[in-house]
Amino acid sequence: MRLRLLACVGLLCALPASGSNALLTPPVVQALTSIDEVPSQTALDTAFGSQVAIDGLKAIADDPMVDLGIALPAIRALPAYCPRGPQACGLGTVHDKLTSLVDGFTALHQPQDSLRLRAAIEALGATRSGLASDAAELVALLGNESRDVRAAAVGAIRNICSKAAIAPLSTHLFTEPSLQVRFAITTALRDLAQCPGG
């Protein structure tokens, strides 16, 4: 009875992104707009039902019409669909999607684009790819005018865990105006020293 009621409530839930290309069923909206928790991969798979979850998440990430409250968690959830194994997310569709999202959102300049960019940056970091190319892409964002974007980039560089980022981060530390970002760089440099590789 209660489950039926839940389903009924779900059907009544209005889809917030009129004109959206993404398939936003009520379960998907509810899963992605969880207020104080990050939806698990199992929960997302269930929410997407017969649709392949990774495809649904990508569609949402690509769609500028989707409500940000839905889009940000969708972008952030992508790394959960990386192949298993150490640094196994350096290749494949998830990684490629995230790098293309970072590229695409960097070129946009509305406040909401900045949030999408930060979500993509953070998600790319969460792949922990170890790739110097990923680190280089993120280092390029240290010149972004938003300190939130720069802080997100530093955090992602730290998670990527490529020692190739140490030198540019060290250089940037001397010119970075934001205390928040400088603190993040200091922390990242400490952790990057422990990463594998020369």
Partner 1 sequence: MFRGSLLVCTMLVVFAGCSGGGGVIGDSCRGNGDCDGTLQCLNHRCVARCLRAPECGDGYSCDQHGSCQLATGQAGAACQSEVDCAAGLSCQIHGASVDNNRPLSTCSPDRATGPSGTPCTVDSECRNGTCGFGRCIDLCRQTRDCSIGNSCAIIPSNAPYGGCLPSAGRVVWSIPVTKPQDEILLPVPDVARSAQLVMSVDDPGQKVGAKSVLSPEGTRVYDLCSPPSAGPPGCDRTMALDQYFKNQVRHQPAFSQSVLALPSGASTFEPGVYRVEVSSFQANDEAGSAIPHVTAVVQLAAGSILDLHFFFLDLAGHSCTAKTNNAPLDASTAQSAGYFQQDYLGELRTVFDSAGLEIGATSYQDVLDHPELDGLAVADVGSLLRLGTFTTGINVFFVRSLSPMGLQAFGPNPGPAGLGGTAQSGIVIALDTLCYRSWTALARLTAHELARYMGLSHNVELETAQHSSWRDPISDSDDSSNNLMFFSEHAEPGAELSVGTELSPGQRDILMRSPVLR
Q: Which of 53, 58, 76, 99 binds partner 1 (CB under 8 A)?
A: 76
Q: Which of 22, 24, 32, 61 binds partner 1 (CB under 8 A)?
A: 32
Q: Which residue has the tokens 């390029």?
A: 140
CA distance 193 to 198: 10
User: Per rule CB under 8 A, is residue 25 in the interface with partner 1?
Assistant: no
Of 43 and 164, the one with the shorter C-beta distance to partner 1 is 43
User: Per rule CB under 8 A, is residue 87 in the interface with partner 1?
Assistant: no
Question: Can you read off the two tokens belonging to residue 120?
Answer: 């993509």
Choose among 26, 117, 27, 31: nearest CA to 74. Answer: 31
CA distance 185 to 191: 10
Of 16 and 168, the one with the shorter C-beta distance to partner 1 is 16
Of 6 and 167, the one with the shorter C-beta distance to partner 1 is 6
Which one-letter DSSP state was computed for residue 141?
A: G
User: Per rule CB under 8 A, is residue 166 in the interface with partner 1?
Assistant: no
CA angle (5, 8, 12) in 5-degree steps = 140
- Binding pattern to partner 1, positions 112-131, x when CB under 8 A? x-xx--xx--xx--x-----
Query: With left for phi above 0 and alpha for psi between -120 and 50, is residue 92 left, alpha or beta?
Result: left
For 132-144, give the DSSP string.
Answer: HHHHHHHHGGGG-
User: Per rule CB under 8 A, is residue 189 in the interface with partner 1?
Assistant: no
Q: Which of 24, 39, 106, 169 binds partner 1 (CB under 8 A)?
A: 39
Question: Can you read off the two tokens belonging to residue 185?
Answer: 């760089």
Of 119 and 164, the one with the shorter C-beta distance to partner 1 is 119
For residue 121, the SS3 value is helix
Residues that bind partner 1 in the complex, under the rule CB under 8 A: 2-3, 5-7, 9-10, 13-14, 16, 27, 29-39, 42-43, 46, 67-70, 72-76, 111-112, 114-115, 118-119, 122-123, 126, 146-148, 151-152, 155, 178-180, 182-184, 187
